A and B are shown apart, each in its own frame.
Chain A
Amino acid sequence: MATEIDERAERKAAVRRFEAERPRIEFGTAWEYSPAPESADIVRIEKRENLFIDGKFVPSRSGRVFETINPATEEVLSEVAEGGEADVDAAVRAAEDAHRKRWSRLRPAERGKYIYRIARLMQEKSRELAVLETLNGGKPIKESRDVDVPLAIAHFFYHAGWADKLEYAFPRHRVSSIGVCGQIVPWNFPLLMAAWKIAPALAAGNTVVLKPAETTPLTSLALARICQEADLPPGVVNIVPGAGETGAQLVNHPRVRKVAFTGSTEVGKLIQRAIAGSGKRLSLELGGKAANIVFEDAAIDQAVEGIVNGIYFNQGHVCCAGSRLLVQESVAEKVLEKLKLRIETLRVGDPMDKNTDVGAINSRMQLDKIRELVACGVEEGARLHQSSCALPTKGFFFPPTFFSEVAQSHRIAREEIFGPVLAVMTFRTPDEAVEKANNIPYGLSAGVWTDKGSKIFQITSRMRAGVVWANTFNKFDPASPFGGYKESGFGREGGMHGLRAYVELS
């Protein structure tokens, strides 16, 4: 008995010695990057930002305003007019007029010209748009500069091309527009989501009332200015900032013919219930809890990059984020070691610094939600790993985090956290991987990592998710449809599938 205890103690001591002497990579201060902040001076933010209705910037009829802040500093950027019932009504009527009298009657090629013009003006102002997006949303400038803004522009260019070719997109059909589209976009990709919604709607001859998210209205309003500059006929695009109430008024307005919503599953369900029986068309792009599946034959270092990109891109505020990692047991230890090392090199902090990889959490509310779920993960017994990075003292920040030893039944494995928090689980066989990946009420996206081509096709064809990436993650293109299965919504955005949501076929 005593010898058994001795043996065990000895073994423990050996493990400790091994751990202490184990080779370690230190990412320290031998050569540090100097701060490289992008200048905020190139954007002008008005003290008071107004609604954009019928081609003009107007205050809200109620006079109500709300503050919009920079989540990285908590400083107020502007006061924004809050759209109320009368404003929504005015916007919808302006849109209806514009649809009936001008936009739907315009020669399709002319419509295309306007959309091309918007795209070109966005290109000219791409730096301003990127800075504004980062100031208002907290995402790193390198992402708004290299991803959000270029993709938003690409969506306008792509759909401009469709404007006069709709009959080729839907052969053997007569194609007509629907009317006024009420569109509600979230705060994680404010400009990009506005582009995803507005560009196809305009190309198909519809007019738009768009409500940006409460925390991030500024780039939508900048886009409104661009529409003005492009001489877009008044009323074709209307932007009405506000909170949930404004959104509800828009959705419930009787003259709205089509509702497009990107946001939480909870609100999506409310919308679906609210407009049931109204004859309004609906597309919903909701939450997700995507599985990133890493097989033992994957290129491990590149898979780790994909995992990092999948969950820490845009602070994890991505509906298609790879928030669950399913890794084959035979390589799990290796993958976790590499992941631990990799998150130490993620640079967390000032979103305006060009070298920042992970910026600010979008709002205090979201930060609280992330903290709550992380605490829950610890309580449930999963093992917490966090980057040792220092966080700024002001603003909303959360370090890159992942949990190992997560079970399928943990809340952190079931619920959308919408933050830089990854849940890692293991599997033994391909069947088990597919089963676990699909065993969730969501179905927006998934990732598969293997060096074996045939395995890619075997696995991806069995995934119940709208988008499946192979050996990459978070890749978007305007020509490629995007959307979900199950509680991740329905309808597609992008490509011909996305266009279908904005046309009437007969």
Chain B
Amino acid sequence: MSAIPSLFDLSRVPPVDQVGIEERAAGLGRRSIKKEAKRAGIRLAMSMLDLTTLEGKDSEGKVRQLCRKAIRPLPEDPTVPHVAAICVYPNFVAIAKDALGTSGVKVASVATGFPAGQVPLPVKLDDTRRAVEAGADEIDMVIDRGAFLSGEYDRVTDEILAVKEACGAAHLKVILETGELETYDNVRRASDLAMAAGADFIKTSTGKVTPAATAPVVLVMLEAIRDHYLATGRRVGMKPAGGIKTSKQALHLLVLVKETLGDAWLTPDLFRIGASTLANDLLMQLAKESSGRYQNEDYFTKD
């Protein structure tokens, strides 16, 4: 009973019922997270954050400032945990590495022709290798959605395998860009494919396409991860990214993880949230929990 599928086997992918998955995700969204659960959840979410800047106007100054925020999100309160990682373009990996030093915050770099992935494979691999050489701990690659949607599953699988190899010791997150895959069936299929090809994490979106990390999409991916783990014993991580702006959304994501994958995944090693503005909302809610009042936005740094 060796259950490890070495390659992607389409016939093993279960269908996903749209109405059912949306109902379940909405149901879990109605969990009432109050008091201690809220405080603990917000701290946990903060420690799972991949603080992200992926803009054409990114610069060394911007990245260095963001790194400070990553290490010490709330200057006046050192008990607020540092975020999990900084997520940047390959050009800024060395700078981020330097700025983060020994803080424990990891450097994640997007690669493989982010965000469209429409470049030749050798360019993708070169992109990956350079980011790793510059010091990236984690690589966020994009799949070729065009190839996936036209049914060239082997090609997508082979590309992930090749990028995984190019990553060496760096962790590989595979971005499905669920907004372009459109159906839950496709999301499930792409999740299973990416995991079979060796992804350490699967990630919803680039942040450049909407819709991105909706709750039902995240739930489909979490269920795929659960089934993969039960069949193979390998724990794959999950990273929703794109459109996650509020603490409420972040807590909803944690509920999905808690009630689908259980305790083992409630750690930054296996669950990340890719976001840029979420950090300040988490801080604002945390401050409100301790003082009972909402502070205005000028009490939280914009980096």
Contacts and interface: CB of A to CB of B under 8 A. Distances in A.
Is A bound to B? yes
B44 interface: yes
A451 B17 contact: yes
A142 B16 CA distance: 26
Interface stretch (B25-33, B79-87, B149-157): B25-33
Q: What is the predominant secondary structure among interface residues of chain A facing chain B? A: loop
Given A31-B258, A300-B14, A302-B17, A36 B263 contact: no
Given A25-B262, A27-B259, A301 B14 contact: yes
A306 B254 CA distance: 23
Q: What is the predominant secondary structure among interface residues of chain B facing chain A? A: helix
Nearest to B264: A26
A27 B263 contact: yes
A33 interface: yes
Interface stretch (B35-43, B69-77, B107-115, B241-249): B35-43
B20 interface: yes
A31 B30 contact: no
Nearest to A142: B30
A82 to B, nearest CB: 38
B37 to A, nearest CB: 4
B262 A26 contact: yes
B261 interface: yes
Interface residues of A, number: 32
B31 A31 contact: no
A471 B19 contact: yes
A471 B31 contact: no
A28 interface: yes
Nearest to A305: B24
B35 A34 contact: yes
B230 A23 contact: yes
Contacts of B30: 142, 146, 354
B15 A30 contact: no
B23 interface: yes
A44 B233 CA distance: 54
Contacts of B232: 23
A33 B19 contact: no
A36 B32 contact: yes
A23 B229 contact: yes
12 contacts: A18-B1, A25-B264, A26-B264, A30-B258, A31-B41, A31-B258, A36-B32, A297-B15, A299-B16, A302-B19, A354-B32, A471-B19
Given A21-B233, A25-B226, 6 more contacts: A27-B262, A28-B262, A34-B37, A142-B30, A451-B15, A472-B19
Interface of A: 18, 21, 23, 25-34, 36, 142, 146, 297-303, 305-306, 337, 345, 354-355, 451, 471-472
Q: Closest 10 interchain pairs by CB?
A: A302-B20, A36-B32, A30-B263, A299-B17, A302-B17, A354-B32, A34-B37, A28-B263, A451-B15, A34-B35
